[in-house]
Amino acid sequence: MNEILFSILAGIIQGLTEFLPVSSSGHLVVFHDLFGFEFVNNLAFDAILHLGTLAAILGVFLPELWRYFLAGLQSLKKWDLRNNKEQLLAWYILVATMPVAIIGLLFGDFIESALRNLTLVGIMLIVFGILLYLADGYSAKVKTISQLSFFDSLLVGLAQVLALVPGVSRSGITIIAGLSRKLNRPEAARFSFLISAPIILGAGAKKIFDLTAAASLNSADLAALALGFIASAATGYLVIKFFLKFLQSHSLKVFAVYRIILGILILSILFFK
């Protein structure tokens, strides 16, 4: 497979799976192992896929995120979380972001390299598929984001740390945590997406910073990266729009069942290989 086709397919997979509760990292591990293809500069490729999904998030939520950013700055001058919901949500996003930002910065590279294997991906797909099924079926689903507490936000943030393990799914674990705190499905997904923006931005920025020590890229590499970015951003944007609308009238069980079936399939292939 040439780099152009690989970049487009990987970008589509990233965009499809980053925002659905099915694990983008797990699917990319499967994709890499299935085709045995490595981009000439994997660090650059990972960075550009992260930036593509960030573009998708900003394409949908930029006005809302900007309001929260300004409200957060305003709260430093005039603290009014009791009466100003945008200030409150700004701080909820910050609280939910901090745990994974700290752990990811300190141990992210180790976790990504040490735990990047198909067996673990298969197990995590099954385990968290079961948890997603249970959370969707048995949670109260009565709250909106503005009805959360700081403790609720912290719990969602702590759960997000588990997403550093391939196969868990960042959106999946944060939606599970949101449902466990009685958020309704669309609000759990919306909060998951809102807190993903700073995380994806930070992860992409770190990878770009690390590129200073990486090999240079030629024009063909840059073209492949550009197409990967476009594929990731466009697919991610469409998936976010679809998913939020889907959850207004559907459950998450189809994604839970998909995870379980895929995990069993991966482990079966590895066992009989």
pTM summary value: 0.92
Q: What is the pLDDT of residue 112?
A: 73
How many domains is the chain built from? 1
Q: What is the pLDDT of residue 220?
A: 74
Give the angle subtended at the CA of 88 by the CAs of 84 and 92, to the nearest 5°. 170
DSSP 258: H
Q: What is the pLDDT of residue 205?
A: 76
Q: What are phi and psi of 143, to 5 degrees?
A: -100, 155
Burial state string for 72-96 with b = 16 or more CB within 10 A and e = fewer than 16 = beebeeeeebeeeebbbbbbbbbbb
Q: What is the pLDDT of residue 33?
A: 73
- Which sign, positive or negative, has the C-alpha torsion 129, 51, 160, 174? negative
- Containing structural domain, residue 180: 3-272
Q: What is the pLDDT of residue 214?
A: 53
**Per-block average pLDDT, block size 10, for the chain (273 residues)?**
81 92 85 66 72 94 96 92 90 95 85 82 95 92 90 96 91 96 95 94 76 63 86 96 95 96 92 83
